[in-house]
Structure 1
Amino acid sequence: MLQYSRPSSFDFQHLNIRPERQVRPKRRKPLDSSSLCDSKVQKGDVDDKKRRRLQAKELAEARKKKRKKHYTLEQELASLWEKMRIRDIKKEDRSKHVSEALKKMKGKIPEIASSHVSSRVLQTCVKHCTQDERNALFAELRPHFISLVSNTYAVHLVTKMLDNASKEQLAEFISSLHGHVASLLRQMVGSLVIEHAYSLGSATQKQALLMELYSPELQLFKDLVTMKETRLVDVISKLQLQKSSVLRHMASVLQPILEKGILDHSIVHTALMEYLSVADESSAADVIQHLSGPGLVRVIHTKDGSRLGILCVKHGNAKERKKIIKGTKGHIDKIVHDRYGSMVLVCILSIVDDTKLISKIIIKELKGNLKELILDQNGRRPFLQLLHPNCPRYFSPDDLISLSLSIPSIRNKGESDTNPKDDEAIEEDTNGEGKTSNTSVHLNEGGKKDSFTRRQELLVHSGLAEKLIDACHEMAGELLRSKFGKEIIYEVAIGGADGILHPTLDDKLATLHEAIVSLAVQPKLDDAEEEHILEQFHSSRTIRKLVLDCPTFASALWENALKGKCATWVKGHSSKVINAFLETSDSKIKELAKEELQPFVDSGLLRLPVAGDSVKND
């Protein structure tokens, strides 16, 4: 019989079992006398603990009352505020609470307006009080406006009052700012009020605020501010100011603003544009250097801010342009949807030679949201600029003026010095001796690459054109019917200006033409939810232009959709498409349709173009 022999020492490895870890009890820190007292209070004397807590609370209240002059009043106002700001409260009850609060604050409003609590109560009162109460409140605060606009909490009360102010009250407030505009613009808080007043003011009031930034004389003498001249060069000429003095003063005002990064305000953008119109080359280059970078994204949402961005792109050197492009990373979608910001992207695509960097940052983000952008009024602009640069059909005169701006003091030698048609352009700078400064240390505006080569690298080589064609193929019906999308599909379908998409993408363009023709082939139905593609207002005109400008498409449309069916389409908007076959300059397309369309011409339904008539593209 086998006998089990127990090992002399218990071998865990023999049984393949790990021994349990022995957990040592944590050593507790010795309790000091105060903690022992607290533990006794928690265990034994609960009432004593409550009494001590009440005593501490009363002591804190007493300290607050001693420190804050109107502490009790603020507590009462806070209680009223909770009642008056309820959404479903009756109008009469809210008016009652507002009137009660204003009565309690009367005579003390300037003192308590800087309080975190009281300023919120006052904002609600300004919003819901009667006009007489608002006038009384305005009159009490008027002598203290300058001190209030510099306070973190009172600034919100002032902006709320400006929103509800009458024309006379707004004029009084702007008048009270005289002599303080420059100093307040250098403050993060005060600049908010200046910008708010600037946005609400009339053209004359805006000019009054701006002119204080131009010269110390305009700060001291209020009568000089009331001028009709809007341009800085005109102000200097009218008042016979010394240009060097104006430049020194504006530099002293704008330099701290740039260094602190207070770049969001339109009044600052306008002041910088005026400064660049008279600044020398070195000063203008310093401004460009300060603006070129991620901070430029905060500038380009206004008209003058957009023009500043364009000038930075045009006159910045390679390093500064690279900073600008990198600064747009992650913000392209927001920029391209903005009316003014999109023009800065258009300028970058038109000028910057570093197409690899643009493709990596800007083109990549544009491709990610392509289908939405080609239907958007502003979002389509970069694509239209690549397909058909500076086309007056797609860009307003104001947009084209912005793209043609330059800084006079660092203008290129080859650029003409005057542009009589450009009323908005920055005026030419002249030195004290009357000589124009044309030299520049910065890169020339157009870059070194040929325009067509740059467009081809950004549009075709980057893969953007192929994405555009695919999107147009997929959304053909929607784009043709769209007020803004129709221009994208038209430019893509004809291959872009200068045939930039030919011959590389001819096969894909043929499939796009087939997609449009397949929509035109569909029968005309009276009870259809959407108008037929040949009868809808926008699509009929777009197809007409394609017939006139793209013989390949015109031939496919005639053979597959219109041949033998013209009687259906010779009335209404579709007649424009049929008539285009008679207006086209391509003799082969004209011969295709001439025989079938002649009877409609004889009956007066269609009209042959008269010699000398210019074909108008709608």
Structure 2
Amino acid sequence: MTAKGEGSNESKKRKRFSSTDVKGEKSNPKKVKLPSKDPNKGPKKPFKPAKQQPHKAKSQFVKSEANYGEKAVPKTTRERRLQAKELAEARKKKRKPHYTLEQELASLWEKMRQRNIAKQDRSKLVSEALRKMKGKIPEIASSHVSSRVLQTCVKYCSQDERNGVYEELRPHFLILACNTYAVHLVKKMLDTASKEQLGEFISFLHGHVASLLRHMVGSVVIEHAYQLGNATQKRTLLMELYSTELQLFKDLVSMKETRLVDVISRLGLQKASVLRHMSSVFQPILEKGIVDHSILHKALMEYFSIADQSSAADIIQQLSGPLLVRMVDSREGSRIAMLCVKHGSAKERKKIIKGMKGYIGKIAHDQRGSMVLVCILSIVDDTKLVAKAVIRELQTILKDLVLDKNGRRPLLQLLHPNCPRYFSPDDLASLNLSIPSLCNKGDAEENSDLDKQKKSSEVGEDGEDNSDTENVESENLNSVEGGKKDPFLRRQELLVNSGLAESLIDTCIESAGELLASNFGKEVLYEVATGGADGILHPTLDAKLDALHETIATLVAQPKSEGPEEEHLFENFHSSRTIRRLVLDCPTFASILWKKALKGKCKMWAQGHSSRVVCAFSESSDSTVRDLAREELQPLIDGGILKLPENKPLGKAV
């Protein structure tokens, strides 16, 4: 018992006090480390973290609260949130000198901008806000909140109060024009300014127009002043972009000349120095992409009028791409886009068309942008690219385009190019614009070709060559220059081969009644039903056109309704005139219409708008159409029931 007990005690002592056995082997290899070989260093003691004593921190907090009467650390989440809010308010008060005033103005603004507030109550709130801001308006105009309060006050205050605000802001307009928030107040001041105040503000801009146009915010003020100014004030702002002399000397800009060529000759300026100055003005503007303003578009058009080949080509290269999409909504901007399409290389044209991807529908509905699409369809020879990028987007919104005043223009250009009925003289003139320095070589080649044709015609025996030369000259005057492909082949590839014509005919069949009664849709329907200029839709789509003729005749053949709500197509102003034109110009449709809708019913339609359709059968140049209606129309004419326009007699059969 004794030996067993002693052995057990010894073994317990070894396990408790020794980490190694007698031979030096590890008894617990996971926990025991070998002693260091350095005699000066003993074994490292394991690190023991200090014990946390939360009761002491609590006692300190209680002690500080008892001693000083304030909380050092908030207890709840709500208290922490309130303390953070108070700290933020204190920081704002230190950072913003008029923070308290802004808070008061914000509360007044919430009341004065309500729609259902009485006019007298609003005027009291506006007067109170202006009274609090008096003397501090230039300082608080740059604030995000206070600038909005000022805009509302300027909008609803009296003229005397508005003049007071103007006088206070007067010395600081140029600084405020470059501020992100104050610029809206400056625009509001310009909108409500009198003629004298607007003229004075424009005079403040003298010498700073070019620098402000390079500023993303300041350029907005220049454009706003340019739009509000009269012709003289616009000319004053524009001339500062021409030369350094016009920036320095204010008296030089007071002249009546508007064209840059006339200004150069009048003042005796050097053309090279003007080009250098304008290039230095335009370069940073184009690099920053500030191309949305009409004053810049006008200046660029004047620059193209005097630029040499390299300078004009550089500007075209910079503009070719997505930048041009932002310029097409103004008159001069759309012309710049057309010049870039006309004089750009194939690579630049490709960039321009690809930059319009996704915006074709929006451009087509715009008055100026639609003419850019017309120019692309008339000039670009890469019809595969145009069909993929332009025609494909137009097909998705075809009905909207047909019924839209501007959206129908690209379609009409393909159906009947450069028709004066659909395009104004200004539109046709913009299509024929060119840059002088980039077309001199082409003009010289064209003139030499014309001279050769004249000489060959003089050598010929008959006069056929002379007539051909005259036709070439007239085509050069009326056609759009720039493309090398045959115009008829280009139209056929874009209109017929791309599938646009088939989709267009299907749209006309589905909405024939709506298009006939529409002021704008009737033009597209007429061109499609007649097969387009030069018969471009024949004979490929003759079956589709016959279906369209049958649809129109079926709609017209419907009986006349007694109710005043529904108007018959013969009695409608637009549809009656469109049907009349179809009868005169399309004998196939005239014969179908006679058999389905008019045969035996001419007496019923011999009065009102429908009489024009009936008379069209007697005015037709086709003898077959006249013979169809002769037997039935002659008694109506003799009896005075049907009156021919301008007393035209019934045509005789040939």
TM-score range, shorter chain: 0.7 to 0.9
- Other-structure match for 2:516: 480
Alignment counterpart, residue 232 of structure 2, candidates 193, 204, 207: 204
CA contact (8 A) 2:343 2:482 kept: no
* 1:417/1:356 CA distance change after superposition, 3 Å: closer
Cα distance in 2 for partners of 1:403, 1:40 equals 86
Note the alpha carbon deviations across 1:8-59, whole angstroms, 9 max, x for none. Answer: xxxxxxxxxxxxxxxxxxxxxx99999989x979x99996417776665555
Deviates more, 1:201-210 or 1:363-372: 201-210
1:72 aligns with 2:96: no
Listed as ranges, the gaps of 5+ residues in structure 1 are 1-29, 419-443, 614-618
Find the aligned partners of 2:179 and 2:303 in 1 and give their Cα distance.
Answer: 29
Q: Distance in 1 between matches of 2:52 and 2:165?
A: 54
Which residue number in structure 2 is paired with residue 525 of structure 1?
A: 561
For residue 221 of structure 1, the aligned residue among 230, 235, 249 is: 249
> How many angstroms does 1:118 deviate by?
1.7
Match of 2:547 among 511, 514, 524: 511
1:368 aligned to 384, 387, 396, which one?
Answer: 396
CA contact (8 A) 2:180 2:217 kept: yes
The residue aligned with 1:591 is: 627
Q: Deviations over 1:231-273 (max 9, x none)?
A: 1112222222221121111111111111110011111111111
Write the mapping of 1:325-404 to structure 2, written as runs, cut at 5 A.
325-404=353-432
Q: Deviations over 1:337-369 (max 9, x none)?
A: 100001101110111111111111111111101
Say whether 1:49 aligns with 2:74: yes
1:127-146 paired onto structure 2 within 5 Å? 127-146=155-174
Cα displacement (A) at 1:77: 2.0
**Is 1:315–1:445's contact at 8 Å kept on the other side of the alignment?**
no
Equivalent position to 1:575, from 587, 611, 617: 611
**Are residues 1:540 and 2:568 paired?**
no
* Paired amino acid for 1:490: Y
Secondary structure of the equivalent of 1:530?
A: coil
The more displaced of 467-476 and 553-562 is 553-562
Partner residue in 2 for 1:256: 284
Corresponding letter in the other structure for 2:275: L
Paired amino acid for 1:463: G
| 1:296-311 aligned within 5 A | 296-311=324-339
What is the distance in 2 between the residues matched to 1:88 and 1:122?
20
Query: What is the TM-score of this pair, normalised by structure 1?
Result: 0.85
Mark the CA change 1:495 to 1:67 in structure 2 (over 3 Å): closer, same or farther.
same
| Identity value in percent | 72
2:531 is aligned with 1:495? yes
Q: Which residue in 2 is equivalent to 1:123?
A: 151
| Segment of structure 1 superposing worse, 374-383 or 225-234 | 225-234
| Whole-Å separation in 2 of the counterparts to 1:551 and 1:412 | 47
Q: Taking structure 1 as reference, are residues 55 and 596 closer, same or farther at Cα in structure 2, changes over 3 Å only? A: closer
| 1:535 maps to amino acid | E
The correspondence for 2:130, drawn from 102, 109, 114, is 102
Which amino acid is 2:74 matched to?
A: K
2:378·2:483 contact (CA, 8 Å) conserved in 1? no
State the alpha-carbon separation in 2 of the partners of residues 537 and 251 from structure 1: 55
| Residues 566 and 578 in structure 1, CA contact (< 8 A), matched pair in contact too | yes
Inter-CA distance 317–40: structure 2 relative to 1 (3 Å threshold):
farther
Q: Secondary structure at 2:303's aligned position in 1?
A: helix
The offset of 1:145, in angstroms, is 0.6
Cα separation, 1, equivalents of 2:86 and 2:605: 89
Whole-angstrom distance in 1 between the partners of 2:330 and 2:313: 22
Give distance in 1, aligned partners of 2:49 and 2:433: 77
- The amino acid of 1:546's aligned partner reads L
Q: State the shift of 1:379 in Å.
A: 0.7
**Residues 235 and 31 (structure 1), Cα distance of their counterparts in 2 relative to 1, 3 Å cut:** farther
The alignment of Structure 1 onto Structure 2 pairs a total of residues equal to 557
For 1:271, which of 299, 319, 324 is the aligned residue? 299
DSSP-derived class of the 2:378 partner: helix
In structure 2, distance between residues paired with 1:155 and 1:119: 9
Is 1:180 the equivalent of 2:208?
Answer: yes
Report the Cα distance in structure 1 between the residues aligned to 2:426 and 2:354, rounded to whole angstroms.
27
Aligned pair partner of 1:460 in 487, 492, 496? 496
Q: Does the CA-based 8 Å contact 2:401-2:408 persist in structure 1? A: yes
Q: Distance in 2 between matches of 1:521 and 1:68?
A: 78
Q: Which residue of 2 aligns with 1:451?
A: 487
Q: Which has the larger radius of gyration?
A: 2
Shift of the alpha carbon at 1:555? 1.1
For 2:311, the aligned partner's letter is S
Matched AA of 1:120: R
Deviation at 1:79, TM superposition (A): 2.7
Alignment deviations for residues 88-108 of structure 1 (CA, whole Å, 9 cap, x no partner) = 322222222211111111112
Unaligned residue ranges in structure 2 (runs of 5+): 1-47, 447-479
* 8 A contact 2:364–2:407 mirrored in 1: yes
- Secondary structure of 1:541's partner? helix
Distance 1:40 1:403 in 2: 86
Please tell me the residue identity of whatever aligns with 1:451: P
Greater Cα shift, 64-73 or 372-381: 64-73
Cα contact 1:148–1:154 (8 A) shared by 2: yes
- Residues 559 and 241 (structure 1), Cα distance of their counterparts in 2 relative to 1, 3 Å cut: same
Note closer, same or farther for the CA distance 1:416–1:266 as it changes in structure 2 (3 Å cut).
farther
Flag the 1:515–1:35 CA change in 2: closer, same or farther, 3 A: farther
1:142-181 → structure 2 map (5 Å cutoff) = 142-181=170-209
The equivalent residue for 1:92 is 120
| Partners of 1:582 and 1:609 within 8 A in 2 | no
Q: Given residue 488 of structure 1, which amino acid in structure 2 is its aligned partner?
A: V
Quote the residue 2:644 is aligned against: 607
Deviates more, 1:155-164 or 1:69-78: 69-78
Following TM superposition, by how much is the alpha carbon of 1:84 offset from its aligned partner in structure 2, in angstroms?
2.1
Instruction: Report the Cα distance in structure 1 between the residues aligned to 2:126 and 2:196, rounded to whole angstroms.
Output: 24
Distance 2:83 2:591 in 1: 95
Q: Residues 468, 519 of structure 1: CA spacing in aligned structure 2 closer, same or farther, 3 A cutoff? A: same
More divergent stretch after superposition (292-301 vs 604-613): 604-613
